[in-house]
Amino acid sequence: GAVVSQHPSWVICKSGTSVKIECRSLDFQATTMFWYRQFPKQSLMLMATSNEGSKATYEQGVEKDKFLINHASLTLSTLTVTSAHPEDSSFYICSAVTGAYNSPLHFGNGTRLTVT
Amino acid sequence: GENVEQHPSTLSVQEGDSAVIKCTYSDSASNYFPWYKQELGKRPQLIIDIRSNVGEKKDQRIAVTLNKTAKHFSLHITETQPEDSAVYFCAARYTGGGNKLTFGTGTQLKVEL
């Protein structure tokens, strides 16, 4: 159980275009989803916390107008990288938790974004 | 917020030896400490976790210890095997942050034959 599906697994886009990444909890309802970014050989850095039906909470230094997050249902959150630039190239990973306090984080497979 | 430090950044051991990775956290209110294993290009996978009301937890070759007074916790892998080679991340969750995790900087473990 507790499967998180993330699509696409990889994407290449041109500078200036937008890319949407989907994160779905397949067999549980995720009241909260988290979006992380990971540069090569670095740790996972939290970008934002996404709560179903409310606005996302962004971490310091993350531009909310550039990284649009929508959590319209208990099983789906999307991250849209708008006006992508080469420096946005990274590994984006979503994770989800159930509503239970201190429940483990379940990660999606990640999306490798390359902006040319 | 929480700050997690992890050491060492790289660790090389011979097959069959033990490996120890250490982490410290800053917020005494943190109460959940998972460890993740990440292979190249893949998602982090939870390998073991411990809550603040427990001092030690073991699962076969993997164990985690927690010292709340010193605010540090460690991952112990015994009888290491080549397939243990990966990047390991510790993390901490503090009660004031909802369910979000703060990750350590990672340890590249290499198990040599």
What DSSP string runs through A37-60? Answer: EE-TTS--EEEEEEETTS--EEPT
Question: Within 13 Å of residue B63, how many CA atoms lie on the same side as its CB?
Answer: 13
Beta strands B4-7 and B19-25, pairing class: antiparallel
What is the signed CA dihedral for B29, B31, B36, B41, rounded to 10 degrees? -50
Q: Which residue has the tokens 């080469």?
A: A86
Give the pLDDT score at B48. Answer: 96
Q: CB A104 to CB B41 under 8 A?
A: no
pLDDT per residue as tens digits for the range A14-71:
999 999 999 999 988 888 899 999 999 899 999 999 888 888 999 999 999 999 999 8
Tens of pLDDT, residue by residue over B23-52, are 999 988 899 999 999 999 899 999 999 998
**Average pLDDT of B84-102?**
87
Does B43 sit within 8 Å of A93, measured CB to CB? yes
CA distance B57 to chain A (A): 16
Q: Which residues contact A73 (CB under 8 A, 6 or more apart)?
A: A52
Does B97 score more than 70 pLDDT? no
Q: State how far residue A81 is from chain B, nearest Cα, in angstroms.
A: 20
Q: How many CB atoms lie within 10 A of CB B80?
A: 21
Report the C-alpha gap between A79 and B109 in whole angstroms.
32
pLDDT band at A105 (very low <50, low <70, confident <90, very high): confident
- Mutating which of A41, A103, A105 best tests the B interface, going by the most B Cβ atoms within 10 A? A105
Partners of A25 in beta bridges:
A4
Token readout for B108 is 């590249």
Strands B10-14 and A106-107: unpaired
